[in-house]
Chains A and B, each alone.
Chain A
C-alpha cells in the first residue's frame, strides 16, 4: 500500500508540473497577435442596421488601403443593439473604432475613460459621416392618407413603433413627433401633451426594438403605419417591393450616428493610423456614395444631391441639439426617465 501511495504521489507531482508548464502555453496560444508589428486587423463595433453598409464599405476600404500602403487589412465587424455594444466595449471588447447609433452611447465609453474628451470634433459634421431621419412606412397606396404627424393621432389609425423606454430608434420617433407638435401648437404645452397622448394611444404594438417593430408591421401585417429609420424603411421596401411605400413628413428629426476612435485600444495596439484612415475614408466620395446606396444620407451635400431622387432632401430636419431639446442628456431626463413625460402620457 505504501509503495502505491508513493507512486501515486510521484505521478501526481509530475502531472502537476506538466499542468503548470502547459497553462501559460495554452494562454499564449489564445492571446492577441504580436502587438508591435504594424497591425493588419481592425475591429469595428457597430450597431444593428449597418451590416450591409459596412460590408460594402470594408471591401472598398481594403482596396483603398492596399493601393495606398500595399498592405492587406482585415476588418472584424460586430453588430448589436447600440447601447449593448457600448457596454461591451466598456467591459473590454477591444474595438479600434466604434460606429454607433447615438452620441449618447459613445459618451458612455468616453466616461469610462477609453475615448478622450472632445471626440465629436475629431471628424467632420459632428463625427457623423452619414445621417438618417424618421419616416412613415405605409401600406401601398397609403389607404389612410397619412401625410403629416397630425394624421397619426386621428381616430382609427394603427401605429407601430418600438418602446422609447428600451429602443434608441423609438426615442427619435417620439422626439420627432414632439418637435412637430411644438411647432404646430406654437409651444402650447397642453396641446402638445394631448397630441402625443393620442398618438401613443393609437399604438397597437409596442415592441422592444426597431427590428421587432419592422417585423410586426411587415411580416405580421399589423397597423397602418410604421415609424421607422429611413434606412430601415428602404430595407423593408427592398424586401417587399410591391407592398409598401415611404412617406416623408414635412418635419422630422436629424439622427446623427457618430463614429469615434477608441483611444485606449488603438494606443495599445498601435493601430491609430489605420483606425484614423478607416474613419476618414467614410468621408471620401466613395465612402459617401456607399452610405447613400445603403439609404443613409451622405453628410457631404454634393454627394447627397446625387441621391435627390431617393431621399426627400427638402424635409425640414431638426437636431437633438436644437433649443427645443437641448441635447441628449436633457431630452433623456425630461422625456424618458421613470416618471418622465412619456410615462405620464402613456399611462393616462
Chain B
C-alpha cells in the first residue's frame, strides 16, 4: 500500500524537476539575459530594422507553410481515409518523411534541385526565377519540415469518424463541396485548428533546413532563428536573447491558443455526448 502512495509522488517529482530544468529554466534565462542591459537595450534590439525584416520573413514563411500545408493536409487526409487506391499505404508513409529526415538534408536537397549546380538551373536563370538563397527557398524549406502536421492530425480523426455520414449525404444528392462543408468539416475543425497551431509553432522555429538554403543575406533571407544565431556569434548577447524572447513570446502565445482550442473542443465534445 505504501508503495502505491509513493509511486505517483515520485513520478510527479521527477516530471516537475525535469520540466523545470529542461524547459522553465532556459525560458527564465532567456528572459533574464534579454533584459540584462535594461529595457532600452531590449527595445533597441527588438526594433532594429534587421530584426523587423527577419520577423516579417519568419511570419511570411509561417503563413505560407500553414496555408499550403492545410490545403495539402486536408487533401491527403481526405484521400487516404475516404478512398482506397493502389499505393495508399506508401502515400501515408511518405507523408512522414520530414519527421524522419534531418532538416539539414532537406535543405541540401533543395540546393541540389534549385541551386546553380542543378540541371534545372539554366531554365530558372533564363526566367530570372530565384528559389534557393531567396524567399521561395525559405518558404519551401519551411513547408517541407512542417508538412506532416496537418495530415497526421486529421487522418486519425477522419478514420475514427468513419464514412457513414458522408455516404448518407452523397446518397441524398449532396455535392462534394456541400459534403465537405456541412458533414466532414464540422467534425474535424478542432483537429484542424490544433494541427495548424502546431504547424505554425514548428514553422516559426525552423533552423536547420532554412539555414542551408538561406545564404544569410541580412535583411533579405534572414529569419528570426537565423538572426539569433548571427547576433550570438557576434558577441551581441543581449540582442540575441532579446530576439530569442520574441520567439519565446510567440511560442507562449501559440501554446495558449492551443490550450484554448483544446478546452473549446472538449466542451463541444461534452455537449455532443449529452
Total interface residues in chain A, CB < 8 Å: 31
**Contacts A11-B176, A76-B220, A79-B216: A92 and B133 contacting too (C-beta < 8 A)?**
yes
B4 within 8 Å of A (CB atoms):
no
**Contacts A4-B175, A88-B215: A31 and B130 contacting too (C-beta < 8 A)?**
yes
- Evaluate contact between B217 and A78: CB separation under 8 angstroms: yes
Query: B116's contact among A3, A92, A239, by CB below 8 Å, is which?
Result: A92
Q: How far is the CB of A61 from chain B (nearest CB, A)?
A: 16
- Evaluate contact between B134 and A80: CB separation under 8 angstroms: no
Instruction: Report how far A91 CA is from B109 CA in the complex, Å.
Output: 12
B234 within 8 Å of A (CB atoms):
yes
- Evaluate contact between A93 and B176: CB separation under 8 angstroms: no
B6 within 8 Å of A (CB atoms):
no
B170 within 8 Å of A (CB atoms):
yes
- Evaluate contact between B136 and A78: CB separation under 8 angstroms: no
Interface centre among A31, A35, A51, A91 (most CB of B within 10 A): A91
- Evaluate contact between A31 and B117: CB separation under 8 angstroms: no
Task: Please give, as numbers and ranges, the residues of chain B lying within 8 Å of A268 by CB-CB distance.
Answer: 125
Chain B's interface size range is 20 to 34
Instruction: Report how far A24 CA is from B31 CA in the complex, Å.
Output: 44
- Evaluate contact between B132 and A92: CB separation under 8 angstroms: yes
**Contacts A43-B217, A239-B235: A8 and B130 contacting too (C-beta < 8 A)?**
no
Instruction: Report how far A45 CA is from B218 CA in the complex, Å.
Output: 10
- Evaluate contact between A35 and B235: CB separation under 8 angstroms: no
A77 within 8 Å of B (CB atoms):
yes
Task: Please give, as numbers and ranges, the residues of chain A lying within 8 Å of B125 by CB-CB distance.
Answer: 268
Task: Please give, as numbers and ranges, the residues of chain A lying within 8 Å of B116 by CB-CB distance.
Answer: 90-92, 112
Shortest Cβ distance from A9 into B: residue: B176
Task: Please give, as numbers and ranges, the residues of chain B lying within 8 Å of A21 by CB-CB distance.
Answer: none
- Evaluate contact between A11 and B177: CB separation under 8 angstroms: yes
Task: Please give, as numbers and ranges, the residues of chain A lying within 8 Å of B56 by CB-CB distance.
Answer: none
Interface residues of B in 118-151 (CB under 8 A from A): 121, 125, 127-130, 132-136
15 contacts across the A-B interface (CB closer than 8 A): A4-B170, A30-B135, A31-B127, A31-B128, A88-B215, A91-B111, A91-B117, A92-B115, A92-B116, A92-B117, A92-B133, A93-B217, A94-B133, A211-B233, A268-B125
